[in-house]
Amino acid sequence: MFQLNKKTLIILVVVIVIIAGAAAGMKFYKAPKAAEKKPVGVPKEMIVPPASGWISSPGASSGGPTQAAMNISTNGTELISLSINITIMDDDGQHTQTDGGSDPDTVVVKVGNDTIELTTDKSSGTAAQSKEYGGDKVSQFGKNITILVTGTKFGGGNRVYGPFGHVPIPGVVYVDQGAGYNIEVKYTYMYYPGH
């Protein structure tokens, strides 16, 4: 029969306890996950189809809408920049002669929280402005870019003169019919391929 001395027996018990402890520890051990790579974004540009139309003055004979709204969905993308080109026209080609001799029109275009005011030039009958939003300013737009066009002051109230342009026709004045607008928008967002 095989006999162990006391010292060998203690060593054997200690080894068994260590092996059992290591086995138990391995059962609960989870290997660390490999660090996930962050997706790499690529800037991508989106050109929105231009919006144009007519906003009527409060005294217009046509009685059309006095405001125009444009709502652009960005689908929750991460916006990098936004640019807008606005053109205002006293006559848009379909409202010829309605503003003859009138004073300039003033139109306010609200882009998100920003307000842009344009006044048509008396000789050309147009006004144009471009604006860029980037960095912190572009974060105001979120999932939607909302643009609102409102006329604040329309010309008109000028006397209408007779056939030879010297004598005004009593009681007859021009009533400004409104203003035309054209808005072009493009924005750049971060595109993550494969996501």
pLDDT in tens, 117-158: 999 888 888 899 999 998 888 888 878 899 999 988 887 766
Which amino acid is present at 15? V
Domain of residue 135 covers 42-191
pLDDT at 41: 81
CB count in 10 Å sphere of residue 43: 11
C-beta contacts of 121-126 below 8 A and 24+ residues apart: 125/89, 125/90, 125/91, 125/99, 126/87, 126/88, 126/89, 126/90
Q: Tell me whether residue 75 is in a domain.
A: yes
Of residues 193 and 46, the one with the higher pLDDT is 46
- Helical segments of 29-171, H only: none
Residue 96 pLDDT greater than 70, yes or no:
no
pLDDT at 102: 61
Q: Tell me whether residue 183 is in a domain.
A: yes
Q: Tell me whether residue 1 is in a domain.
A: no
Q: Tell me whether residue 19 is in a domain.
A: no
CB count in 10 Å sphere of residue 63: 9
pLDDT at 92: 66
pLDDT in tens, 33-77: 766 777 788 899 999 999 999 998 887 777 778 899 999 988 878
pLDDT at 195: 61
Sequence-distant (6+) residues with CB within 8 A of 173 are 156, 157, 158, 159, 160
Q: Tell me whether residue 181 is in a domain.
A: yes
- Look at the chain and report how many structural domains it folds into: 1
Q: Tell me whether residue 91 is in a domain.
A: yes
As a whole number, mean pLDDT of residues 172-179 equals 79
Residue 81 pLDDT greater than 80, yes or no:
yes
pLDDT at 86: 96
Q: Tell me whether residue 184 is in a domain.
A: yes
Q: Tell me whether residue 73 is in a domain.
A: yes
C-beta contacts of 116-121 below 8 A and 24+ residues apart: 116/86, 117/152, 118/86, 118/88, 120/88, 120/89, 120/90, 120/179
CA 140 to chain CA mean position, Å: 8
CATH number of the structural domain spanning residue 125: 2.60.120
β-bridge partners, 145? 72
Sequence-distant (6+) residues with CB within 8 A of 8 are none
This model's pTM is above 0.75: no
Distance set, CA 12 to CA 19, 21, 26, 41 (Å): 11, 14, 21, 60
